[in-house]
Structure 1
Amino acid sequence: MTSCPITSRLRGGKQRARSEADKLAREQQILDAAAGLFARRRYSDLTLADVAAASGLTKAALYRYFRNKEVLFIAVYQRAFTELVADAKARAPLRLPDDLAGRLVAHPLFCSLSAILHVALETGLNDHEAKAFKGFLLAQSAELATLIQAASGKPPEACFAFLMRCQQALIGCWHMSHPPEVARRAMAHPPLDAFRMDFEPTLRAHLQALYDAFTTSSP
């Protein structure tokens, strides 16, 4: 008697994806689960076991795709960055700095992962992975810098430097506007509420100041 393909796959839990299409689909399933968990919980509170459970996989099966938590979330970040760049390109020509700020605000997963990229995610990479990831960052950043150049008429190196300053502002604004829960409670009432800030208006103000300096500088 021939077994049902679906039943065969589910027997004893989800089996290893066999074809390249299956592997890609399984990988996207894992990335979706990881992104969903990260949207609700802090990175430090997540484990691979959590992601495996949300993916419907065993932890051993998850390790066949991602060898540690950092590599997994680097992959989540890469997907988020690619989506951000595609979104920005679809809206070209950009109105600076408003469209740049708007695209960042519209992609909170990219923003939140950017904030921990250098202090958490990259710490788990080996030399080969780090070099490949930096190459990815360079390529995606160059795509955005090209859009900035088209909108501003500034030289490529100046546009890239402006983008890096925007990224630095993004990281700082995200941290300042997303404090730990205990700090958030402490700042709930005057006079400590002076330290509270909302991400979007804070980011927009920083990018506007950076853009003003960028446009008034010499070519």
Structure 2
Amino acid sequence: MTFQRARTEEQRNERRRQILDAAAALLAEKPVADLTLTGLSHRVGLAKANVLRYFESREAVLLALLEAEIAGWLAEMDTTTPLEGGSARERADRFAELVATSLARRPALCDLMSAQSSVLEHNISAETAIRHKYAIRGHVDVLIGITRRHVPELSPEDSGHLLELLMLVSVAAWPASRPPQAVLDAYTADPELGALRIDYAEMVRSAVALTAAGLLTREREPR
């Protein structure tokens, strides 16, 4: 580091970025549940008390990282090209495939999303919660726009419903697709049980495609 103590706002922002980079590096090695404030402070080269100068808790660090990971994912999704021609159903299927495969390539994001409500939103202040919720709302607005670029037949309201379902399915499917070793061994030992194993990308793709199909059908019905 080129400075020992962050004194300017630029230096403080740089220190926050270093802490988030360290947290991201740790999540490449271990799940959210195993990431500790002690391990984070060691990775970034700061005392725990100094880490807490920039983030009020471990959970606040991970919430900020979640926001950054979502922003990165949205930037990727924004570069995707909608299917030209074809029916609304076909374009929705294409969008579902893009969403599922892009999320599956981002295990840290999936892990953070699955822990958001049950872990990350605990041990934080109301101020941090407000800031986080506004950040997430902004991300959702961006994703609604991306959704409608791919499937313009979906209204903003229905696009919002589709994304709510996407988040709920992703949160449930991610941990379910990563069972403990004993369960993996059971799947290997008994092929009938192996059929129960969850494929995260396929579960998300199927849920988004089926929900979009239902919403498109409803859009065509007389009001």
TM-score by length of 1: 0.86
| Separation in structure 1 between the aligned mates of residue 144 and residue 52 of structure 2, nearest angstrom | 36
Deviation, structure 1 residue 108: 2.1
1:182 positional shift: 4.1
Once the two structures are superposed, residues 139-170 of structure 1 have per-residue CA deviations (whole angstroms, 9 ceiling, x without a partner) of 10111011112222221111111111111111
What's 1:24 paired with?
Answer: 13
**How far apart in 1 are the matches of 2:48 and 2:181?**
29
Cα distance change of structure 1 residues 170 and 48 upon mapping to structure 2, 3 Å threshold: same
Give the structure 2 partner of residue 146 of structure 1: 145
1:102 offset after TM fit, Å?
2.5
Q: TM-score by structure 2 length?
A: 0.84
RMSD: 2.0
1:75 aligns with 2:64: yes
- For the structure 1 residues 185 and 37, does the alpha-carbon distance in structure 2 shift closer, same or farther, using more than 3 Å as the test? farther
Which letter maps to 2:142? E
- Quote the offset at 1:180 in angstroms: 3.3
Amino acid at match of 1:53: H
> Could you tell me whether the CA contact under 8 Å between 2:187 and 2:194 is conserved in 1?
yes
Equivalent residue, structure 1, for 2:54: 65
Query: 1:108 corresponds to which residue?
Result: 107
Aligned counterpart, 2:215: 214
Deviation at 1:92, TM superposition (A): 4.5
The gaps in structure 1 that reach 5 residues or longer are 10-14
Aligned twin of 1:12: none
> 1:160-191 CA deviation, whole Å, 9 max, x = no partner?
11111111111121121012344334434214
Distance in 2 separating the partners of 1:30 and 1:166: 29
Alpha-carbon distance change, 67 to 33 in structure 1, aligned in 2, over 3 angstroms: same
Select the residue among 16, 28, 42 that pairs with 2:31. 42
1:101-139 Cα distance to aligned partner (Å, 9 max, x none)? 232223222111111101000112222221221111111
Q: Secondary structure at the match of 2:54?
A: coil
Looking at structure 2, the residues matched to 26 and 186 of structure 1 have their Cα atoms a distance apart, in angstroms, of 46
Is 2:82–2:95's contact at 8 Å kept on the other side of the alignment? no
Q: Deviations over 1:39-95 (max 9, x none)?
A: 222322221110010111121211111121110100110100111111111224474
Counterpart amino acid of 2:44? S
Q: Distance in 2 between matches of 1:59 and 1:143?
A: 35
Query: How many residues align structurally?
Result: 208
Higher relative contact order (CA 8 A, sep 6+): 2
* Higher alpha-carbon deviation: 188-197 or 40-49: 188-197
* 1:115/1:172 contact within 8 Å kept: yes
